[in-house]
Structure 1
Amino acid sequence: MILIDIPANKKVYFASDQHLGAPTKEKSFPREQKFVQWLNEVKEDAAAIFLLGDLFDFWFEYKTVVPKGFVRVLGKLAEIRDSGIPIYFFVGNHDLWMRDYFETELNIPVYHSSQIFSINNKRFFIGHGDGLGPHDLGYKRMKKVFTFPLFQWLFRWLHPDLGVKLGQYMSVKNKMISGDEDFKFLGEEKEWLVQYCYRKLSQEHYDFFVFGHRHLPLDIQLNENSKYYNLGDWVHYFTYGIFDGDTFILEKYE
């Protein structure tokens, strides 16, 4: 468990699913600028910043090459980290091929699975959220293929110009970007992450579950002492989470 104590007048910020680069770099550029502006504002009172995956709509790290672009957001993250503010990054299903670039170049730890944090003595279960809960067996099988070392090794043999172009094409086809049929609350019994939270609570207590992936801002009371939050996205909602040491809230960035 990772411990974080929030100093007086400081806050912890959470954001997810920016999908920079989708549907095209040109069309996502205003979103990148908006997200960088948000980072520039929250750094003033941030005790820590959590990025819960799918920052990029596609990301693949070759041995000596990373995808071109995104210099503004990468530069801002480097600036914030160099100032001493911790940043924690969780890979999503669109940037699951992230390796050590963030760690070596930006000094930002990268997590490939959900983690437990104690923030001001509140237990947080934090992750991107893909592949958790019941159902979605097709995606779970696909994720096993994409994370299989041999598959990644074979993909790495594609020339970056071809590999990145192919990856970007497949990522943009994802319905979470191209459509809005999933942006409706389905009821707790059909929300897989809600069901996952209930299952975890049957094993041990958590004060807060915080996920991305769903693209829909959600604030759900699981029991008297536990809540589940989904952060929404920076494609449709531009929402993010704030924890002040006691209370967690979702806000919309205008």
Structure 2
Amino acid sequence: MNIPEGKKIYFASDNHLGAPTAEASRPREQKFVAWLDTIKSDAAAIFLLGDLFDFWFEYKTVVPKGFTRTLGKLAEISDSGIPIYFFVGNHDLWMNGYFEEELGIPVYHKPQEFTFNNKTFLIGHGDGLGPGDTGYKRMKKLFTNPFSKWLFRWLHPDIGVKLAQYMSVKNKLISGDEDAKFLGEANEWLVQYCKRKLETKHTDFFVFGHRHLPLEINLNKHSKYINLGDWIHYYTYGVFDGNHLIVKKYPEH
């Protein structure tokens, strides 16, 4: 994709809408929708890198209640012709066609490569990548197993959603608090993942979420790792103007 003059590509991640309660997350949702309204005038494309919802599961004929403002704004932007790309996170990985059918938004379950203005990107949520974190990787295999999803689907939504929300809120990662501390490049597994990727193929920008920390790390003279932070404490997002990718805060001060 060549970015038209005056247009930009935007990236955001980790809203965790619905946590810790629908009422408590409503102001954050309104702020996110206001940001979407702000960027739609010059957006060439929008990338949402997962954990938009703190929990999401698509039953055959049912999706979780709520998030009307966000879904309506995404539908409006998509209908206007601005492409939106969604990457599932570890909290909303049970997507199965709703975004594609209702919003016209393609959904990806693994990192994908893109090229904009001859700059190469590897984009994804970031969970389960790199060395270590074996416990989560085993859990993810269980959660994504078709039989496990089939069993969960047999729970009445009132029970299944309530149970999943309780378990999700217990996960400290959504708080952006104790778990979200910079560990140093040598101990940041996404940094290590990117460096290993560079051993076999050049990439200009690696863009991920999941860590709840806004980070910009130069991997070498020509490659950069970006973590988008979150919309719980930081309200940060990425913007690519055709040459440079930087992390900014909404609203700007």
Distance 2:176 2:238 in 1: 24
Q: Deviations over 1:41-64 (max 9, x none)?
A: 000100000000000000000000
Counterpart of 1:101, as a letter, is: Y
Alignment length (residue pairs): 251
Matched, 1:111 2:108: yes
Distance 2:58 2:176 in 1: 28
* Counterpart in the other structure of 1:162: 159
User: Which of 90, 93, 103 does residue 90 from structure 2 map onto?
Assistant: 93
Counterpart of 1:163, as a letter, is: G
Matched, 1:16 2:13: yes
> For 1:180-199, what aligned pairs fall within 5 Å after superposition?
180-199=177-196
Distance 1:224 1:249 in 2: 16
* Counterpart in the other structure of 1:237: 234
Residue 183 of structure 1: CA displacement? 2.2
Residue 195 of structure 2 contacts residue 219 of structure 2 at CA under 8 Å; is this kept in 1? yes
Counterpart of 1:67, as a letter, is: P
The percent of aligned pairs where both chains have the same amino acid is 76
Distance 2:173 2:55 in 1: 13
* Counterpart in the other structure of 2:211: 214
* Counterpart in the other structure of 1:204: 201
Please, which runs of 5 or more residues in structure 1 have no aligned partner? none
* Counterpart in the other structure of 2:124: 127
SS at match of 1:185: coil
Counterpart of 2:216, as a letter, is: D
Counterpart of 2:179, as a letter, is: D
Q: Deviations over 1:122-149 (max 9, x none)?
A: 0000000000000000000000000000
Counterpart of 2:81, as a letter, is: G
Please, which runs of 5 or more residues in structure 2 have no aligned partner? none
SS at match of 1:223: coil
Distance 1:198 1:114 in 2: 15
Distance 1:92 1:145 in 2: 15
User: Which of 146, 169, 173 does residue 170 from structure 2 map onto?
Assistant: 173
Distance 1:179 1:96 in 2: 20
Residue 124 of structure 2 contacts residue 207 of structure 2 at CA under 8 Å; is this kept in 1? yes
> For 1:139-150, what aligned pairs fall within 5 Å after superposition?
139-150=136-147
TM-score, length of structure 1 as denominator length: 0.98
SS at match of 2:219: strand
* Counterpart in the other structure of 1:73: 70
Residue 180 of structure 1: CA displacement? 1.2
Distance 2:179 2:162 in 1: 26
* Counterpart in the other structure of 1:61: 58
SS at match of 1:31: helix
Counterpart of 1:114, as a letter, is: P
Distance 2:13 2:109 in 1: 15
Residue 178 of structure 1: CA displacement? 3.8
Distance 2:165 2:130 in 1: 27
CA RMSD of aligned residues (A): 0.7
Residue 98 of structure 1: CA displacement? 1.0
Counterpart of 2:196, as a letter, is: R
Residue 179 of structure 1: CA displacement? 6.0
Q: Deviations over 1:201-251 (max 9, x none)?
A: 001000000000000000000001000000000001000000000000100
Moved over 4 A (4+): none
* Counterpart in the other structure of 1:253: 250
Q: Deviations over 1:127-175 (max 9, x none)?
A: 0000000000000000000000000000000001101111111111111
Q: Deviations over 1:41-90 (max 9, x none)?
A: 00010000000000000000000000000000000000000000000000
Distance 1:217 1:178 in 2: 14
SS at match of 2:232: coil
Distance 2:182 2:164 in 1: 29
